[in-house]
Chains A and B, each alone.
Chain A
Amino acid sequence: MAKGDPGASTRGRRAAPRSRKAAASDPELVQLLTPAGERIDSVTGPDGTEYRVDFTDEEYRGLYRDLVLVRKLDAEATALQRQGELGIWASLLGQEAAQVGSGRALRTQDMAFPTYREHGVLYCRGIDPIMPLGLFRGVDQGGWDPNEFKFNMYTIVIGAQTLHATGYAMGVAMDGKTGTDDGEAVIAYFGDGATSQGDVNEAFVWAGVFNSPLVFFCQNNQYAISEPLERQTRIPLYRRAAGFGFPGIRVDGNDVLATYAVTRHALDNARHGQGPSLIEAYTYRMGAHTTSDDPTRYRIASEVEAWQAKDPIARMKAFLEREKIADEGFFTEVDEQARREAVDLRERVLAMPNPEPTTMFDHVYPNGSPLLDEQRAQFSRYLESFEGSAH
């Protein structure tokens, strides 16, 4: 699917093979694709909203391709860190569906505020996946233009971006850019751990009170580094929204179709001026918090295995195979593309030039500063005092 907007065309639609309704194993969880790869036609949410997707075969294959590519590039980045080429890496392994599903649900005009793990959303926004690697390699500050791609810079501070998103969304509303089908919506990404932060709760308050066009997208991956979910909350996270006065819903975050449907609906509500909502994408971080972390120290293997059985890519593949939407040739071709893009990513990372030391003085002030100019001059003279200096 990728670039196409499934709302724009009705040709070639594939109805769900069996007309099952709202029969998910967990009544609190919106699911359209079971771990075994079985399609559920539609699910009715607690407020009566009917969630469904209507994709063409091409779009289904596109989603699968996204999932595989995002996972492969992420794995390559993890390997690069292990080989000493990145300082650190926060892997998204296991959360591909939550990110691709929500990322593809965004429209061009929608603005996203990521954490430091949203490599999948970044990919969906059309940003070169090399971009965050410069940041984690320590050669730049993350080099994409947030305005061009409508995707803010990675935010390392836990939960801080929810406030930025709230302010941005309030601005969108004040500019009168909501209330139509072409209205703008904003999405703020954060994790289960961040829900304990003051920033996130403040953002809930402001977005709720000002009816901001904002979707709070919480990827509940069950751990705040080593801290399990039961240390974050006594109730399901999505239910917290009720206390702030806006709807909350839990979706199977390993189900790319349900995540897409739920996010698209929430974004459309926001763009039509119906205020914020909270989505809890229920998923699992299969890898470590970051490459500096060792998850085997705080969680047991059987838990990881149980989630392995709910893998987002395996269920999509099973679905594509069962419905004969894709054949072996397609899967091989996708794997080969992923391999090529990973090699390309690796080669480009290794070729990244070290930044000129004096560039640290750039872009500090829009119109320069006498103090910084003086420091830059001093620093240049210092650098020139070394032999072999290119300055």
Chain B
Amino acid sequence: MSRIKEFNLPDLGEGLTEGEILAWLVKVGDTIELNQPIVEVETAKAAVEIPAKWAGQVQAIFHPEGTTVEVGTPIIAIDTDPGAGPIDSSTTDLPTPSAASLAAVEVAPAEGAVEPGLIGGPAPGGRTAVLVGYGPRTTAAKRRPRKGDAPAQATAAPVLPAPVQATPAPVVPVPAAPTVNGNGRTAGPVLAKPPVRKLAKDLGVDLGTLTGSGPLGSITREDVQRAAAAPAAEPLAVAGPATAAASFGADREQRIPVKGVRKLTAENMSRSAFTAPHVTEFLTVDVTRAMKALDRLRERREWREVRVSPLLLVAKAVLLAVKRHPMVNSTWAGDEIVVKEYVNLGIAAATERGLIVPNIKDAGRLTLRELADAMTNLVQTAKTGKTSPADMSGGTLTITNVGVFGVDTGTPILPPGESAILAFGAVREMPWVHKGKVKPRLVTTLGLSFDHRIIDGELGSKFLRDIGDFLADPEAALLAWT
């Protein structure tokens, strides 16, 4: 046991992550007693004095007054046996504040709170015993490693619910041989964040077959989604014999309680589908010019920080088209039709919690720049799960961007109380007749569903045509309509 001990800032009150050093009550060289107050620390909850954990002599103070220190960071080093003469420099080095501070900076927040080494003594597993106290952290040793690669898979497997016994679907596959991927990382265990692993498991994607596009070659959510969209031939082949021997009972069925967003979506969709007579029309548009216009927009200095997506242009197209056909922005109210002069533009968003449709209030009055910012905000809020009920109520017309899932179009169902919803499909390079010749052009398909009680085929078609015209040539449409 080292005679010089470092004291780490503890969690002083139920789940705190940091504290500010208010005042040091001792200085380097001072002889201190057990439980003598050494430092005053202010946390989010209280300003408290910390008593010395060991008697001895103050060897080093790592953080000056006024600094904020993360829980688990060494703040002071105490020589617990100062009478024993100088420290043997052949086996240990004296701590220097800079070195320790550096080590401290690398400490992850709140790590000390769960560090088992704190309990019962100063020799936690996995750390190298250099310098004093705990020595530098070795991140890899925070958790005990699993036993040897292949057996580990076998032992670990029972913990994970195996969907089909005969189907080998290891979440962490064992690479056949160490290879080096594009990022120069040796392919050991596959790198992926836990939510991504969960997604891969849910979608039945084998992470080992993917090449990660994230930092250090880690596999991202997008990588998994892309792989899931691709045809999966191999698993089917393997599943063949298994299916033959398998049962078709409850053991191979999953029962998911209907609640929350799923329940709400189900209620809204069936209510809408069976009350509003839906008509859906499609229009395929060459959006090459629009995409070039977007590129030019992105190059403008004042738009440099703005997130500009094809969806922005579609939203603009819808808003302009509504001005020309106000009747589409209306509600069926039994014995009357309520036509709204404001457009609360809904954007359907797939989130972790399920489908939600927040809307941009009075979107018709926004400039393109304001619209872009509003859409960025809306998406970010939805992704973090912080969309408020107010954001989701009062929508008058909705866009659903099914193109992000790589499909061409769909027949969307109206949100209750709305009369039109536009599905925006993927923008793809396709052979297209342009100026009398077949050329590769960027093409998308729009799908518009509308409520036939209010909107007849003529109005719906004109509305969809206008959206298409704008996307085919935004500059001309702007000149002509505004």
Chain A positions within 8 Å of B, measured between CB atoms, are: 76, 79, 81-85, 87-88, 288, 290-294, 296-297, 350-354, 378, 381-382, 384-389
Contact = CB atoms under 8 A, between A and B. Distances in A.
B48 interface: yes
B121 A88 contact: no
A387 B146 contact: yes
B50 A82 contact: yes
A379 to B, nearest CB: 8
B112 A84 contact: yes
B11 interface: yes
B122 to A, nearest CB: 11
A378 B159 contact: yes
B184 interface: no
Interface string B38-55: 000000011111110100
B217 interface: no
Given A84-B112, A352-B120, A385-B146, A292 B159 contact: no
Contacts of B35: 76, 79
Contacts of A84: 8, 10-11, 112, 118
A291 B120 CA distance: 21
B159 A83 contact: no
B83 interface: no
B144 interface: yes
B155 interface: yes
A384 B13 CA distance: 34
A386 B53 contact: no
A76 B34 CA distance: 10
Contacts of B53: 83
Contacts of B146: 385-387
B12 A385 contact: no
A381 B147 contact: no
B14 interface: yes
Given A352-B120, A388-B125, A388-B144, A378 B47 contact: no
Contacts of B144: 386-389
Contacts of B12: 81-82, 291-292
B156 interface: yes
A84 B43 CA distance: 14
Given A82-B12, A291-B13, A385 B48 contact: no
What are the 6 tightest A-B residue pairs by CB atom distance, in nearest-first order?
A84-B10, A294-B46, A292-B13, A386-B144, A385-B155, A83-B53
Contacts of A291: 12-13, 48
Interface string B14-57: 10000000000000000000010000000001111111010000
A354 B116 contact: yes
Nearest to B53: A83
A353 B119 CA distance: 8
A386 B35 CA distance: 38
A354 B115 CA distance: 12
Contact of B45 (A82, A294, A350, A352): A294
Contact of B48 (A88, A294, A381, A389): A294
A188 to B, nearest CB: 27
Nearest to B121: A350
B159 A288 contact: no
B152 interface: yes
9 contacts: A84-B11, A85-B119, A88-B14, A292-B45, A296-B47, A353-B120, A381-B159, A384-B155, A385-B159
Nearest to A353: B120
Contact of A385 (B8, B116, B147): B147
Contacts of A87: 11, 14
A287 B145 CA distance: 44
Contacts of A293: 13, 45-46
Contact of B13 (A85, A88, A387): A88
B158 interface: yes
A387 B147 contact: yes
Given A84-B8, A386-B143, 8 more contacts: A82-B48, A84-B118, A85-B119, A293-B46, A294-B45, A385-B152, A386-B147, A388-B144
Contacts of A79: 35, 51
A81 to B, nearest CB: 8
A85 B10 CA distance: 8
